[in-house]
Structure 1
Amino acid sequence: MKLIINGEARRVESANLDELLAELKQQGGALALAVNGTIVPRGQWPQTPLYDGDTIDLFSVIAGG
């Protein structure tokens, strides 16, 4: 399926957010994800399906002040 990930069109095989992170080798660490502009809580990633044409924004969370 084709997704837009951080503004770049990519073809992926993932069916949900957890699988997408594994496919992109982005597991672990402080990450935040939005699907079509809506932040998805980490606990919902395994149950959040992906559909052709979805826009995914992947953020690395950085502590600061």
Structure 2
Amino acid sequence: MVFSERMNQPNEKRQLVKLLMEKTQTSESTVYRWISGVIVPPPIKQKIIADILGEPIEQLFPKKK
């Protein structure tokens, strides 16, 4: 499941947004832009997100063809 799909699970979203904000030292608006796909997190933050979610980076942030 890609990052935006995973984050749109209602039971996880708010808690994960707070956790991602804290762990990536990023604003709430930036995290929501990642979720909506407006912007892609930098690679170092992708690694943090993947570690938190327990998913491979390649699955959460597939390269666009």
TM-score w.r.t. the length of structure 2 is: 0.31
TM-score (norm 1): 0.31
Per residue, is there more helix in 1 or in 2?
A: 2
Bigger share in strand: 1
Quick check: which has more Rg, 1 or 2? 1
